[in-house]
Amino acid sequence: MEMMIRGRRNRRSGAIRGLVRENRLAVEDLILPVFFHDDANPVEISSMPGCTRWSVAGLVAEVLAVYEMGVRAVVLFPKIEDSLKSADAAECANDEGLVPRVIRELKEACPGLCVITDVALDPYNSDGHDGLVVRGSDGGLKILNDETVEVLCRQALCHARAGADIVAPSDMMDGRVGAIRMALDEAGFSDVGIMAYTAKYASAYYGPFRGALDSAPKEGDKKTYQMDPGNIREAVRELLLDEEEGADIVMVKPAGPYLDVIARLRDETTLPMAAYQVSGEYLMIKAACAGGWLDEKAVVMESLLGIKRAGADMILTYFAKDVARWLSEGTFR
């Protein structure tokens, strides 16, 4: 066959493929979500094989180990004791609570670590929702927006006082990014960043996470504040609002089923973009690999590279420690 152009010439060896590769995954791209509780004993999370709900001491040791592997950012997810949960979620702003104590421990043990905190009320709310709840005239639940934002500001300030580098409001209340930015600035925390959960969808992929923290809603669902999975223009609208309100980083969650949303928002913003490979994505890969149907390393790396290719600058993934090891071994080509 007489062909001047042959695409396969650029694929014929690992060295050549490396030269022409358009997107690369690096350990610096990774953020590790970590679970912890106020108990001396770690607990293996049955809904997320390979993940642990750590004690405070165990968490510090794990994070130090991961830091040495090159993963320099973690996001904190606490399991709060039932006795501390209430309708007003007051524990979320307790300066001596679990999260502030963990922040201080982590920053003391590893000053160079980037500590990101989840700002939402579901771990503290006796109703299990991301916002304050009242009963509507129709008997159904109503999630209060403006009153919730006031509490979220107090929570963000609590985390900032403890030393958090970035606060990440995941609640999807209207106006919370701007309100938190103003509260942080007025309190002298203008250097604390905001990673906004910009397009957080009302997804069926969150189930294993809620099992890990016992944070599922006691009644109803989250569809009145999290986004409809059928919408993409709405994600652009949320992006524009978060930009105007002072977000430093924007996020799409989940990642894998919403690669088109990541790509669309990438075209709409110059802000750094995060994507969250959520617990359901993690569990599906783990389950398929445990059954011998897939090669775990190959599938994990391909899934993360796909998220990166879609436009994410950073990825929150429970595979971060494994990926750091694989990258250091140079076993992915």
Distance between CA atoms of 177 and 152, rounded to whole angstroms? 10
Instruction: Read off the tokens for 95.
Output: 């300066």
Residue 299 one-letter amino acid? V
* DSSP of 17-28: HHHH-S----GG
Which residues are CB-contacts of 270 (< 8 A; sequence separation ≥ 6)?
none
Active site residue 79: no
Contact assessment for residue 32 and residue 50, using Cβ atoms and an 8 Å cutoff: no
Strand partners, 86: 125
Q: Which is catalytic among the residues 79, 85, 222, 253?
A: 253
Residue 283 one-letter amino acid? L
Strand partners, 32: 74
Query: Residue 333 belongs to what H/E stretch?
Result: none
Distance between CA atoms of 136 and 132, rounded to whole angstroms? 13
Distance between CA atoms of 113 and 63, rounded to whole angstroms? 9
Active site residue 253: yes
Q: Which is catalytic among the residues 200, 222, 286, 308?
A: 200
Helix/strand/coil (H/E/C) assignment for every residue in 166-204? EEEECCCCCCHHHHHHHHHHHCCCCCCEEEEEEEEECCH
- Cβ of 198: how many Cβ atoms within 10 Å? 29
Instruction: Read off the tokens for 52.
Output: 């642990």
Active site (catalytic) residues:
200, 253
